[in-house]
Amino acid sequence: MRGFARSWQFHLMVLPSLLFLIVFNYLPMGGIVMSFQDFKPWLGFSGSEWIGLDNFRMLFEREDSVQVIWNTFIIAALKIVFNLVAPFVFAILLNEIRKAFLSRTIQTLVYLPHFLSWVILGGILVNILSTDGGLVNRMLVSVFGVDPVFFLGEGNWFRFTVIVSEVWKEFGYGTIVFLAALANINPSLYEAAEVDGATRWKQTLHITIPALIPMAIVVGTLSLGNILNAGFDQIFNLYNPLVYEKGDIIDTFVYRTAIMEGKFGFATAVGLFKSVVSMVLIVISYRLAYKLANYRIF
């Protein structure tokens, strides 16, 4: 109690964040009961019919919901892989630039897309990828002489567009952790390798890359918890009915079935399924990070 009296100001500073967390993260959890009901908004929780596990049974019986789960897994897995490889390689390349001004300028430029919302980027991509006068398709036709590509209207091209645009937006920000790992490398290792006649490539191969591998393991294993998070903001701002078969993910499926179709119970069941699987994967990923790279938060 004496300790609380000395630091009550800090507890008071935390209070707004705690209230925000309770109101927006914990109180809505009461809505989980809808996943076990044929929920009708005008009847409320108490008046809606209880149907047990029927909504979960429907989740695995409907072809579109099973396809949505596979879409989410494929898109999220590819995003995780490329969002790991791209920052890893870029950090190594950036580390080879000896002029500090040029290095900092490049870092700033590649960080900027991270701070743009998908609402803005979605509008930009729709315009430049359009088959009707879009910049990319005009270049493909005039320079390479190929037919226009329907990037946002054909399933496989939509997946490609989503993954590439995600990597372009986030790889600069993801480079930060690898640059921090590079900063911890003892310079004497490079000096000793240079004395022994090692080229820059040999130094990178035998010093830089091994030093980054533990961080790559940590980032990769912790990313497993996001295997069912394929990016609602991005998909929602880019997709359309033409690409539902290949581009619809769990989050957009939940939004559409709940808000557009009014199937609140079924949508809640899908969201609960995703949350439970994600929680299990997060626990597994933290255990793997501890086992493989001795990384732990607590």
pLDDT given at position 53: 87
| Fold classification of 68-126+170-293 (topology level) | MetI-like fold (1.10.3720)
Burial track 223-257 (b if 16+ CB lie within 10 A, e otherwise): bbbbbbbbbeebbbbbbeeebbebbbbbbbbbebb
pLDDT of residue 40: 86
Pull the structure tokens for residue 160.
């490609």
| Predicted local confidence at residue 276, as pLDDT | 87
Check residue 298 and give its pLDDT: 57
The whole-number pLDDT of residue 101 equals: 85
Helix (H, G, I), strand (E, B) or coil at 91: helix
Q: In the prediction, which pLDDT does 163 show?
A: 93
Query: pLDDT at residue 189 above 90?
Result: no
| Mean confidence (pLDDT) of the chain | 86
| Mean pLDDT on 84-99 | 88
pLDDT (0 to 100) of residue 280: 85
Tell me the average pLDDT across 6-29: 86
Report residue 160's pLDDT band, with 50, 70 and 90 as the boundaries.
Answer: very high
- The one-letter amino acid code at 270 reads V
**pLDDT for residue 82 is more than 90:** yes
pLDDT at 25: 84
Q: Is the pLDDT of residue 146 over 70?
A: yes
pLDDT exceeding 70 applies to what percent of the chain? Answer: 97
226-244 confidence digits (pLDDT tens): 788 888 899 999 988 888 8
Number of H helices, E strands in the chain: 16, 2
Q: Is 50 left (phi over 0), alpha (psi -120 to 50) or beta?
A: beta
Neighbours of 295 (CB within 10 A): 17
Q: How far lies 7's CA from each of 15, 19, 28, in Å? A: 13, 19, 31
Domain spans in the chain, listed from the N-terminal domain onward: 68-126+170-293
Task: Please tell me the predicted confidence (pLDDT) of residue 2.
Answer: 64
What's the pLDDT at 1? 57
Q: What per-residue confidence (pLDDT) applies to 134?
A: 82
pLDDT of residue 295: 67
Cα distance between residue 43 and residue 53, in whole Å: 20
What is the secondary structure of 1-37 as a DSSP string? -HHHHHSHHHHHHHHHHHHHHIIIIIGGGGGGGGGGE
**Do residues 167 and 82 touch, judged by C-beta distance below 8 A?**
yes
- Give the amino acid at 57: R
Beta bridge partners of 49: 38
Percent share of the chain, pLDDT over 90 = 14
Whether the pLDDT of residue 211 is over 60: the answer is yes
Residue 296: per-residue pLDDT: 67
Residue 187 has pLDDT above 80, yes or no: yes
